Structure 1
Amino acid sequence: MTPPPGPPPLPELHWLEQLIERGHPHLQAREMRRIHVPGGPSFPVHAITLGNPDPALPAVGYFGGVHGLERIGAEVVIAFLQNIVTRLAWDTGLHRLLEQVRLVFMPIVNPGGMWAATRANPRGVDLMRNAPIDARERVPYLLGGQRLSAGLPWYRGRLGDPLEAESQALCELVQAELLGRPFSIALDCHSGFGISDRLWFPFAHTREPMPHLAEVQVLKTLFDQSHSHHPYIIEPQSAQYLAHGDLWDHLYLQACENTGRTFLPLTLEMGSWLWVKKNPRQLFSRKGIFNPQIGHRQQRVLRRHLALLDFLARAASSHERWRPPSDDRAQHHAQALAQWFPT
């Protein structure tokens, strides 16, 4: 059947699938799920992997498009994948890096929501409120996750229902490619919170510090030293708000069941209110406040975060050189408590 004329129904997906084709045979791609929009098209949820598959080696996962309104998160991940695919043709340093690390991509977790320009998936469920984990302390009304109605934002889904198909795809990929390794990092790219760019680490369901606080503190120090003028506020998500159903808390707690492995899930929250401040007209755009609307500003955002995504790949590949040894962890943990959890 000849495809209809005009632009593709989801340009980001078209961009991603072109990269998958260009990256062959270095990339391995598989369709984790097929998402059907009621009365509309269906879309694949793609997983892309490259690098050394040896499970004894570290890995980094890059995720985007969990919330359909936040297209820029998917675009940042796809832009980094494009950077990788382009360099594969000539960059011997990149090939050496890929011998030491596994890279995993799921750039568009929620294609149905992205097509419909909604935060939730086509069933009205907010995927970042969908995991079977409840906050231990009080959460903000609605914002922290609710089971009242799919017609209201931040809907968790019905109690007892299985994970949404998109959430299942993300969890299966993380479990298969990241959690079984001695060391792994995940970066999930979002937008919409405040003016500043933030890097969040667990927890979202409690204000208690995460067990791997020492590793996060050393990783932050490395990033501060390597990129001394970076724009990020690095903090636990609980410093801003608590929420039910966070997928990364859910997966991190699974990883903690094996004390010999380290999994560090991070969330990039790009401060989209800065784009609104510079361009108030985007309040009335179909793409909303969560994505830069002016072309040069979008290109700047796509460039802005490449250094972070590349840093995580290099930090993971050389984790044995910087991870705190057991006799130093207590000191780094105490420093992190003083920085992020002052009494």
Structure 2
Amino acid sequence: MSWIRLSEFAIILLNVFSIIYPAIARGGEYTSQFPGRHLLDDGDSKPSADVAKGYMSNAELENAIMAFGERCSNISRIYSIGRSVGGLPLWVMEISDNPGREEPEPAFKFIGNVHGDEPVGRELLILLANWLCDNYVKDPLAKFIVENVHLHILPSMNPDGFALRKRGNAKNVDLNRDFPDQFFSNNNVEDGRQPETKAIMRWLRRIQFTASASLHGGALVANYPWDGTQSKRRDYYACPDDETFRYLAGVYSHSHYNMSLSKEFPEGITNGAAWYPIYGGMQDWNYIHAGCLELTLEISDNKWPNASELPTIWEYNRMSMLNLVATVAKNGVHGRIFSSDNGKPLPASIMVEGINQTMKARVGLADYHRLLAPKMKYEVKASMPGYKSKSTAVMLENVTTLDFILDPEAGRVSKVLETACDCTGTTKSNLEVVDILAHPQLEVSLLVVVTLAFLLLLLTRKFCLNPPKQRQLPVSKRPIIV
């Protein structure tokens, strides 16, 4: 019996149980205590109302998101990650052939409108979602993305700033300077941060994203970590995955109409600190605290171009956006990790020799998705307390499927792994389970529950004798099992 069928049976069991018991984008004027970027001395002045002519209002954006959800309900779901200072919901569109369900697939997120006066991203992200809806049956790239990636799109992180026609949020805080920063220990607490920032941080605790990109305006370049430096000086400051980030930035730049032709930025890419250091930025936080490889994409020279230019900007960026998302499934080392004694999935750590950055397999499915620069040889290691580590060398052409089966250490009994809360809402929380067990009618159906649990145990034992194999990505070679 496959892992998917076993999972479906477990869900059925729970359902029965429940029935029984009912660029300036990166720079610009700086407003926090840390040094910032000052590309242009434009301050944070509010532009005229005419500048928004032709752009969607917040109400129109919400309507567009809901209309997309209704039109494309077979490959999407709409959810909110929180609210802005002004109480506006931060809507997300998830696009997948199984939206809302956990699968051993990488997740990617786009975030637009981080700065209120950079609205191009929110327009392009609505266009991207609708393009995928219209083309996933007939276009091979759209089909590949829908079937192999869980894509999450947040068109506007800062709807209040957009409504005010200004950079910061309703409290005049630059949201791209509001995240915990590695160089300022007094800035590493969550309390006191803006609700929009907290919403992003909670989001990444719920969903383990492989990669990400935020869309900004005011330049034309793909920016990658680090954003700041230890010395606080403008200088190239490489993160451990510098080669991989350069590769991802190059995917976007070279797929763009003219970004890679830039005379200011060779190949149309730049290290953030080499451009100009910032602190409290979102992309560095993503990488350090969530293992998510995020780019900051400057997609238009003008922060607020005339709305008539949006179709052209969309065409210039369309293939870049699609190729970047597809790369998370077409590149790197992907796999799952199991215990050799009973076949249970292990949320182990994945390390690559020479790269000082540990990635985690996901709790539950134990899948991992490690992006790496192609055409290189890597030593990949899986480790977990109570188990013997294993490693193997892979020559990465584009994508490799690599599963690990770890042996328990002699004389040690592995602790039963507890799965995390199912954030999709398909299972009950601990509090709900406690409430069920406290139900006064429990003894009436106890026999039914015990019988179903016994059947599940028999199926589980059968499953453990035949551990599941990793779902093979369409462009992958035969899976490697270590």
- Asked whether the two chains share a fold, i.e. TM above 0.5, the reply is yes
Please give the secondary structure, in 1, of the residue aligned with 2:228: coil
The amino acid across from 1:169 in the alignment is: A
The partner residue of 1:70 within 87, 96, 118 is: 118
Q: Tell me how far 1:301 sits from its aligned partner.
A: 0.7
Structure 2 partner of 1:60? 108
Contiguous gaps of at least 5 residues in structure 1 = 1-6, 137-155, 257-262, 276-289, 333-343
For residues 299 and 26 of structure 1, what CA distance do their matches in structure 2 show? 25
SS in 2 for 1:121: coil
Distance in structure 2 (CA, Å) of the matches to 1:59 and 1:125: 29
Are the equivalent residues in 2 in contact too, given 1:135–1:242 (CA < 8 A)? no
SS of the residue 1:163 aligns to = coil
Q: TM-score, normalised by structure 1?
A: 0.69
1:29 aligned counterpart, secondary structure: strand
Contact 2:300 2:313 (8 Å CA) reproduced: no
2: CA distance, partners of 1:312 / 1:160: 30
1:171 aligns with 2:197: no
Counterpart position of 1:192: 218
- Distance in 1, matches of 2:136 and 2:259, equals 28
Tell me which of 224, 243, 254 is aligned to 1:201. Answer: 224
Determine the C-alpha separation between the residues in 1 that align with 2:136 and 2:152.
16
Closer, same or farther: CA 294–57 of 1 in aligned 2, 3 Å: closer
Percent of aligned positions with the same letter in both sequences?
20
Alignment of 1:312 onto 2:303: no
Cα pair 2:216 2:296 within 8 Å, conserved: yes
Aligned residue number for residue 326 of structure 1: 378
User: How far does residue 116 in structure 1 lie from its aligned partner after superposition?
Assistant: 1.4
Highest relative contact order (Cα 8 Å, sep 6+), 1 or 2? Answer: 1
Distance 1:223 1:294 in 2: 23
| Paired residue secondary structure (2:84) | strand
> Pick from 21, 24, 28: which aligns with 2:77?
28
Q: Give the alignment partner of residue 12 of structure 1, picking from 47, 61, 68.
A: 61
State the Cα distance separating 1:9 from its structure 2 match: 5.1
Take 1:72 and 1:80, find their aligned partners in 2: how far apart are those partners?
Answer: 12
Runs of 4+ in 1 over 6 A off after TM superposition: none
Aligned equivalents of 1:45 and 1:128: distance in 2? 16
Q: Give SS of 1:311's match.
A: helix
- The one-letter code of the counterpart of 1:292 is P
Report what 1:151 is aligned to.
none
Which of 237, 259, 262 matches 2:272?
237
In the alignment, is the contact (CA less than 8 A) between 1:47 and 1:105 conserved in 2? yes
Contact 2:62 2:91 in 1 (8 A): no
Long gaps (5+) in structure 2: 1-55, 230-235, 261-267, 334-372, 381-392, 397-482
Query: Is 2:290 aligned against 1:255?
Result: yes
Offset of residue 326 of structure 1: 1.5
Partner Cα distance (2:155, 2:257) in 1: 27
1-side partners of 2:58 and 2:285: how far apart?
32
* CA distance, structure 2, for counterparts of residue 227 and residue 8 of structure 1: 30
Larger-Rg structure: 2
| SS of 1:325 mapped into structure 2 | strand
CA distance in 2, matches of 1:217, 1:135: 23
Q: 2:243 aligns with which of 214, 217, 237?
A: 214
Alpha-carbon distance in 1 for matches of 2:158, 2:305: 19
Query: Alignment partner of 1:326: what SS?
Result: strand
Where do residues 290-305 of structure 1 align in structure 2 (5 Å cutoff)? 290-295=303-308, 297-305=309-317
